[in-house]
Each structure stands twice: as structure tokens, then as C-alpha cells.
Homo-oligomer: A and B are copies of this chain.
Amino acid sequence: MPRITTVSSSPVRDLLALTARPEVISFAGGLPAPELFDLDGLRAAFDRALSRRSLQYAPTEGDADLRAHVAARMTARGLPTGAGDLLVTTGSQQALTLVVTALLEPGAVVAVEEPTYLAALQAFQLAGARVVPVASDEHGLVPAALAEVVERERPELLYLVPTFANPTGRTLTAARRAEVAALAERHDLWVVEDDPYSELRYRGEELPALASLSPKVLHLGSFSKIGAPGLRLGWLRAPAELLRTLVIVKQAADLHTSTVDQAAAAAYLDSHDLSAHVRALCAAYRERRDAMVAALPSTFPEGSRWSDPDGGMFVWLTLPGGVDTAELLPKALARDVAFVPGAPFFATAPDRATLRLSFTTNSVAEIGEGMGRLAAALRG
């Protein structure tokens, strides 16, 4: 098994295991806040959804009601979508792996914005793909850098998180979206728009989904950040021909996603106002974001730079003075606070002076306390 043995377990997951001590304030995970889950609403939805039908095998494509709801929400947000354009997946992680299986042969070239979501990097590695980074700045992926990579490397696929990216929190501007879409069309390049965070916007105007600008863009959505991740519900919007292939790949992967969880999500969308729930999430997360960003100047040394995200879950930092943040982590853990060093988010040459902080999991008070501990760790 030559491919597998070169891939290690997710560093973030291994780290999370180490930071599970209850006294640790963790800014490491990318977890939604559990106290904000609509537990009562979801309990009622499961109760309503449970039936002999929802306990049975079901079509691979997914629950018809759930697909109709998701399509209607996408359409309302400016991405015209029919239920038949969607495949329900076991989380959007599965959607990504299905796309990889359907489109990439070993040795294929994948372009990624850098830094990027590390479980995506893992999926590309597992498929034996060669990952080529594309530079990004505070406005997201740089189109000129993409054009150069496309010219030189002829990638099969571009992967990016255009809105409130993981790990950077950055958002691709509207002008750059148009440029990326045009490049994709011109070079017949498949683009994966991984979009778990875009509904978590705390300021500014919504931007058009990349998928609304070109049929070469596959759009991945998720219930994990707006509903709850435990249900493992994601969806994939793709052109009809590719969708047919992806359904076959999904059949082999797990036949279909949990019928019960799909029916529960559909029942929830029938009887609850998810958009109102998302507004409540945004109100809470906005305060947490503000608390963390406000604490940054007094926490990190002079010369540190950070992203100022309009939404999502993450702040991305670069520290001055050639520091390696992996060496800071044990000091932070000794003070019962955790973050993620930035190196694993790079496909090739990592910038070791970077780190990621998540502001969604902790309350404003905990963020204040945790940032204080982090400041102490950085001084000591």
C-alpha cells in the first residue's frame, strides 16, 4: 500500500486529542458552538422523521425533500439550483473525496489556494495527486498566480474555499471570482468551491457563489456549520453528466447517506426557520469574532499580522522574527490554551510563523481568558 503509508493522520485531529483536557481553552478546533445547536428543534425533527421508511435503504442521490429544501435555499441566495442538480453526501468531506475519485487519476495535478484546508490536502495525497499551490493574499487566491500555474502545470482541478476560508478567514473578492470563473472556462479546468461557511457572515454584502459564474464550478455545501455536524450531511451541486458519475462513486462509497439523518434535516427545514437560526448564530459568533480580534494587539508581539474576517470561524496570524509556532504550542498548552500551528495548511513549503485561531467554540468571556493565557505564553 505505497500511497497510504505516505499519508499521516490529520495533525489537527491528533492535536485535538491532546487538548481534550477540560481546563484547556481551545482555539484549535474548527468546531461550531454546541450550546448554540438547536437541540430541541432537532430532537423534534428526529421524532417526526423516524418512520419505517426513514429506517430503510434509500436512493443514493438523497432524500427528495431535503434536496428540494437545499436547492430552494441555494436559489434564494443567488445560485439557481434544482433538486436534481444535487447529490446528498455524508458531510462535505465525502463530497470532496467523491470528486477526487471521479476526476483524478494517480499523478494528476491539483491546484490549491495556499494555505488551505488540510483535510482537502490529505484527500488529494491519498488519491496520489500532485498538489501545486497558488499564492493568495488578503483578498483570497491571486488570479494572476492561478493563470501562471494553469499555464505551467495544466491542473485537472482547482480547490478553494472562496468565502471565509479555512484556515485564513479570507474572502475572494467579486472581481477575482469573475477572473477565476473565466480562467476555468477558458482552460476547461474543474473548480471545487468548498462552501461550508458563507452563511456565517458578520458584516458586508453577500458575494456571488463561484458556481453561479461558471458550469465548471462544483459547489460543496454542508449542514455542519449552520445546523449540526454530528448528522454528517453535506451536498454537492454538479452538472448532470458529472453528477451521474458521482452517484456511481457514492454507491460504492456508502450506498447512501443516513436516511434517518436526511429525513430529520428535511423535517427540520419543513418546520423551523433555518435562516433565523443562522441569524442567531451570526449574532453570537460576531461578538466572539469581535472579542478575539480586539484582543489580538495586546496578545501578539509587535509586527504580528492577522486576517480580519468578515465571517466564518477563523483568524490567521503571521508572527514576526522567524518564530516557529509549533514550538510555541507546548508553552501554550502548559498555560491551558491551544491553537493550531499553520504549517500543515501548506501544500509545499510551509510558513512556520503562521497559526490559526478559531473564535466560534468559546464564549466571549472564555476568549478573553484564553487570549490572556496566550499572551502570557508568548511572553514566557
Interface residues on A, range: 35 or more
Say yes or no for A372: interface residue by CB 8 A criterion.
no
Say yes or no for A248: interface residue by CB 8 A criterion.
yes
Say yes or no for A253: interface residue by CB 8 A criterion.
yes
Return the contact of A4 from the options B37, B43, B224, B245 (Cβ within 8 A): B245
Say yes or no for A105: interface residue by CB 8 A criterion.
yes
Say yes or no for A261: interface residue by CB 8 A criterion.
yes
Docked CA distance A42–B263 (Å): 15
Return the contact of A119 from the options B3, B37, B252 (Cβ within 8 A): B252
Say yes or no for A247: interface residue by CB 8 A criterion.
yes
Whether the Cβ atoms of B34 and A43 lie closer than 8 Å is: no
In the assembled complex, how far is the CB of residue A108 from the closest CB belonging to chain B, in whole angstroms?
A: 10
Return the contact of A101 from the options B53, B59, B126 (Cβ within 8 A): B126
In the assembled complex, how far is the CB of residue A56 from the closest CB belonging to chain B, in whole angstroms?
A: 5
Say yes or no for A249: interface residue by CB 8 A criterion.
yes
Whether the Cβ atoms of B255 and A91 lie closer than 8 Å is: yes
Known: A230-B54, A230-B57. A249 touches B46 (CB 8 A): no
Docked CA distance A307–B257 (Å): 33
Q: A1-B103, A46-B50, A90-B253 are in contact. List 17 more A-B contacts (CB 8 A).
A: A2-B105, A5-B245, A34-B53, A34-B55, A39-B52, A43-B47, A46-B46, A55-B231, A57-B229, A90-B232, A90-B258, A91-B254, A93-B255, A94-B254, A122-B248, A231-B258, A260-B260
